[in-house]
């Protein structure tokens, strides 16, 4: 006698309408506690962990086959976790297609060629150069202030290019060979991007300092003669000003914290002045950050 299929035999993500037609689930079970709805007509089993990658696969079941997963969603699928589990799943579709709106899925209609993507589950996923572009174009031109757009977009771009180095030729071809909405800011972001940054807040802090007119070097190595003293998040080598973000360090082990303090003392003994920026300051008060850097820079130059 053939085995009767049960709910746990369903895949981890499925369309409710198709599962009902196949006799794998009832309407009552779709409304019950054994499954969880991800999108309209898209479900997962209740015990399955909901990740952004799972939601991307779920969204791929209902978007047009020409839709291209991109931006933070595609980066996360590739291993660069820029999207949280419940963030909107990001797609682009060619201009001639109309789709949505569907809650939880963000679709942008724009120029996208077949060469800029490849098949992925029931849809397509963008190539790495196209993902890099869409990490910036995903930001609405209505996002308040061009500085804010750069502060949001450049850190994502830094993280993606750190994980997946892309040649300057391909990046410039992608960013300069088109005329999308928001492309001017996207090009500025490309010029400001630096994959040496080791975290999103470090990237954001670098953008704040660069826009404020300071020439900073990320991940600057400091030496005394041939002796290595340590490495800085950001440094102005000429005036010996160190700019560091402390949001992650004070959550480290006591050993890590002690090591960090010793590193700073070694550099301070050689004339380096530290400007420490907290997560709260970075989020709310970049004008004060720039003022503090300016004061430290001027005092250091005068002392030198």
Is the residue at 227 inside a domain? Answer: yes
Report pLDDT for 152: 85
Whole domain around residue 164: which residue ranges?
135-196
Of residues 60 and 109, which shows the higher confidence score? 60
| % the chain with pLDDT above 90 | 72
Judgement on whether residues 217 and 262 belong to the same structural domain of the protein: yes
Judgement on whether residues 150 and 227 belong to the same structural domain of the protein: no
Report pLDDT for 154: 94
CATH number at residue 215: 3.40.960
Is the residue at 146 inside a domain? Answer: yes
Is the residue at 32 inside a domain? Answer: yes
Structure confidence by residue, pLDDT tens digits, 219-267: 999 999 999 999 999 999 999 999 999 875 545 677 777 888 899 999 9
Is the residue at 86 inside a domain? Answer: no
Mean pLDDT of 189-208: 93
Report pLDDT for 304: 63
Using the predicted structure, report yes or no on whether residue 166 has a pLDDT greater than 60. yes
Report pLDDT for 145: 64
Report pLDDT for 143: 53
Structure confidence by residue, pLDDT tens digits, 13-47: 999 999 999 989 999 999 999 999 999 999 999 99
Is the residue at 72 inside a domain? Answer: no
Judgement on whether residues 154 and 225 belong to the same structural domain of the protein: no
On whether the pTM is more than 0.85, the answer is: yes
Report pLDDT for 148: 77
Report pLDDT for 5: 46
Domain count for the chain, please give it.
3
Distant-in-sequence, close-in-space partners of 253: CB < 8 Å, separation ≥ 6: none
Judgement on whether residues 247 and 294 belong to the same structural domain of the protein: yes
Mean pLDDT of the chain: 89
| % the chain with pLDDT above 70 | 93
Mean pLDDT of 287-292: 94
Mean pLDDT of 162-170: 95
Structure confidence by residue, pLDDT tens digits, 50-106: 999 999 999 999 999 999 999 999 999 999 999 999 999 999 998 888 777 889 999
Using the predicted structure, report yes or no on whether residue 175 has a pLDDT greater than 90. yes
Using the predicted structure, report yes or no on whether residue 125 has a pLDDT greater than 70. yes
Judgement on whether residues 189 and 216 belong to the same structural domain of the protein: no
Judgement on whether residues 167 and 234 belong to the same structural domain of the protein: no
Is the residue at 187 inside a domain? Answer: yes
- With contact defined as beta carbons under 8 Å apart, do 15 and 22 qualify? no
Residue after which a domain boundary falls, among 196, 219, 245: 196
Mean pLDDT of 171-180: 88
């Amino acid at each position: 006698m053939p085995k009767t299929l049960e709910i746990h035999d369903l895949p981890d993500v499925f369309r409710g309408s198709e599962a009902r037609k196949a006799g794998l689930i009832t309407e009552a079970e779709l409304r019950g506690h054994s499954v969880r709805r991800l999108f309209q007509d898209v479900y997962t089993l209740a015990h399955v962990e909901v990740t952004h990658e799972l939601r991307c696969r779920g969204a791929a079941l209902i978007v047009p086959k020409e839709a291209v997963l991109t931006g933070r969603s595609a980066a996360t699928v590739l291993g660069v976790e820029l999207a949280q589990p419940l963030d909107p799943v990001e797609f682009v579709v060619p201009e001639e297609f109309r789709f949505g709106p569907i809650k939880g899925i963000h679709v942008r209609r724009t120029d996208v060629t077949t060469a800029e993507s490849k098949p992925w589950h029931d849809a397509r996923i963008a190539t790495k150069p196209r993902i890099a572009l869409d990490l910036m174009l995903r930001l609405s031109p209505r996002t308040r202030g061009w500085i804010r757009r750069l502060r949001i977009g450049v850190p994502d771009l830094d993280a993606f290019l750190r994980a997946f180095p892309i040649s300057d030729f391909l990046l410039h071809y992608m960013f300069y060979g088109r005329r999308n909405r928001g492309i001017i800011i996207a090009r500025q972001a490309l010029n400001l991007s630096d994959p040496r940054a080791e975290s999103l807040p470090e990237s954001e802090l670098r953008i704040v300092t660069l826009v404020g007119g300071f020439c900073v070097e990320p991940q600057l190595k400091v030496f005394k003669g041939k002796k290595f003293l340590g490495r800085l998040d950001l440094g102005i080598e000429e005036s010996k000003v160190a700019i560091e973000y402390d949001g992650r360090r004070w959550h480290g082990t006591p050993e890590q914290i002690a090591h960090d303090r010793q590193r700073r003392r070694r550099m301070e003994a050689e004339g380096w002045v530290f400007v420490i920026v907290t997560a709260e300051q970075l989020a709310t008060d970049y004008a004060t950050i720039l003022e503090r850097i300016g004061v430290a820079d001027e005092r250091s130059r005068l002392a030198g």
